[in-house]
Chain A
Amino acid sequence: MSVDVTMPRATAPAILPGSGGMRGALSDLFWRRPQLLLLLMLLPPVLWLGIVYIGSLFALLAQSFFSIDEYSGLINRQFTLKTYGDLLQAANLDIILRTVTMAALVTLASAIVAFPIAYYAARYARGRWKALFYLGVMLPLWSSYLVKIYAWKLILAKEGILTWLLAKLHLLWVLDAWLSLPVVGGNSLSVSFTGTFIVFVYVWLPFMILPVQAALERVPGNLVEASSDLGASPGQTFRNVLFPLALPGIVAGSIFTFSLTLGDYIIPQIIGTSRLFIGQAVYSQQGTAGNIPLAAAFTVVPIVIMGFYLWGARRMGAFDAL
């Protein structure tokens, strides 16, 4: 707060005169009727979000109950459940299952990679190092999403740095053996599920680190000490004391990694196979296929999954860790 020190003290009265006029009347009105001020403050954001966002969500939901005429390609604006029937075709169920599996694996891997970083930052890093760790997580979090994907395209390309590194280490046979595996392999890493998986983990990792770190920072150090005083080995302390207390943080982070993986369509499109994920299915249905009802029905899947996920996370106390 700045204080105006140049103001001549002698001439300034202790109490300023009322400003009067329209402005004064308005100010007095707000003072007497705080509810009115509250209403005026809330109206713009609530109207904006209510009309633009919630309105759009309802428009989307409404579309999922329309259907497409298969011969003319026109949208038939009449209530029907036919589109949801189409959603349950085997090919579409495949897409949903593939996406959910990927989201679960990405979440698990992010938790494993994030934990040591969060643990170190929360319990050992001090002063300058603490700030460094914080920025070290924040900068990748806010770096451009597309640039991060592009960087991995450079890394995973057949002629890229990873192949070069493995060749130098005489480990190219490991890569070839991995790529020859049925589901996770492919022509090169940049066109395989393994590549998609690595990029997902990379891009969402900071979203996992921050809540886990926050949860670990709240664990009092004397709990850990008490545990070892009572004869627990470091492994037992981790399993029975630290991990249960960090779990809400992990669940909070998993909300992001899971939800973001469910909805992403750019990463699997740029680094991955030609087999679709939910996001890509939505994108191609609304774009090239012009089947907006089916695209809308597809988006209901992640909404429902996330609804259940959030409900479960809330029961585990994950929202306190956010």
Chain B
Amino acid sequence: MRSDRGQSAPLGLKIAAACGLLFLHLPILLIFVYAFTTEEKSFVWPPPGLTTQWFAVTWNRPDVWEALSLSVRVAAISTALALVLGTLCAAAVSRTKFFGRETISLLVILPIALPGIITGIALRSAFSLADIPFSFWTIVLGHATFCVVVVYNNAVARFRRTSGSMIEASMDLGADGFQTFRHVVLPNIATALLAGGMLAFALSFDEVIVTTFTAGQQQTVPIWMLEELIRPRQRPVTNVVAMVVVLVTLLPILFAYYLTRDGDQIAGSGK
């Protein structure tokens, strides 16, 4: 029960909060304007004219499609791996108390708590020590490692809310372990897993720091963008790709929020 309910905020606070939110959102909105600019060489504002021709140009660029396809495949497989590993870990940690339980939570969180460059260079030096050549799978290896934590966080929160007596009831009614999992546990955690999977997909789709160390010569969408930021070839195409990336990451986040909005822990509050 809050005593300040119904009171309105001081004007200064309102202005500061509004300015903060604008600061967070205006730069992203700007991307949408630049995708339509006719200017090719500079970042001049205001745009001298508006056009949709760059969408067609981008559509016909094979390098963009290749990067997109690689990113989607990496994100899909990393998400699948993270779903399995994260759910297993969450089930074990939340169902039973055992020695080393805290250590396991720490182990899962570590890849995302340490700066990405450490994860990246650690993987790279391990690949070089073990003479593993860069491939599709070296990217997946890195991505799955830091995606586990997102699935884990969502699943642990849901397991905590699911009461153990339901599982006991199912067993009492004669269901075996697999039936209980299929008909009782899975329907309960399904939306949390879906939300975790969405977030893991978005995380992997956007990852650049670890990927630069594990990709070799391959280009995911973020690596393609980084390349364009450092050595621009055709700026309008970069603008269009940036806009598409914003839209592609927006949808899974909104959906994950929608799936878990009633819970005590809403998906995505930790990245």
Contact = CB atoms under 8 A, between A and B. Distances in A.
B229 A53 contact: no
B271 A27 contact: no
A206 to B, nearest CB: 7
B246 interface: yes
Contacts of B114: 259, 263, 302-303, 306
Chain B interface mostly: helix
A148 B115 CA distance: 18
A178 to B, nearest CB: 18
A73 interface: no
A56 B128 CA distance: 10
A140 B28 contact: yes
Contacts of A286: 121, 124, 213
B46 A164 contact: yes
B209 A45 contact: no
Interface stretch (A85-93, A119-127, A243-251): A119-127
A311 interface: no
Contacts of A157: 42-43
B230 interface: yes
A298 to B, nearest CB: 9
A95 interface: no
B23 to A, nearest CB: 7
Nearest to A48: B85
Given A60-B125, A286-B121, A151 B27 contact: yes
A44 B115 CA distance: 24
Interface in A227-286: 234, 255, 259-260, 262-266, 269-270, 279, 282-283, 286
Contacts of B2: 123, 221
Contacts of B212: 283
Contacts of A133: 21
Contact of B27 (A19, A124, A131, A148): A148
B187 interface: yes
A41 B145 contact: no
Contacts of B175: 16
Interface stretch (A109-117, A169-177, A179-187): A109-117
Interface string B13-41: 11011001101110110110010000000
B208 A266 contact: yes
Given A120-B9, A143-B246, A148-B28, A159 B42 contact: yes
A147 interface: yes
B58 interface: no
A152 interface: yes
B179 A19 contact: yes
Interface in B215-269: 222, 225-226, 229-230, 238, 242, 245-246, 249-250, 253-254, 257, 261, 266, 268-269
Contacts of B3: 221-222, 224-225
Contacts of A45: 85-86, 88-89, 104, 108, 148
B125 A63 contact: yes
A147 B246 contact: yes
A123 B43 CA distance: 40
Contacts of B1: 221
Nearest to A280: B117
Given A1-B188, A59-B129, A16 B27 contact: no
B21 A136 contact: yes
Given A150-B238, A221-B2, A266-B208, A260 B115 contact: yes
21 contacts: A27-B176, A38-B92, A38-B98, A49-B107, A52-B141, A53-B111, A60-B126, A119-B13, A121-B17, A123-B4, A142-B199, A142-B206, A150-B31, A151-B30, A154-B34, A155-B30, A160-B45, A263-B116, A292-B125, A299-B117, A303-B118
Given A263-B209, A299-B121, 15 more contacts: A1-B184, A42-B89, A42-B92, A55-B126, A56-B123, A60-B126, A62-B129, A63-B125, A117-B20, A121-B17, A144-B206, A149-B229, A160-B43, A207-B271, A299-B118
Closest 5 CB pairs of A and B: A263-B115, A116-B16, A27-B176, A120-B17, A56-B122
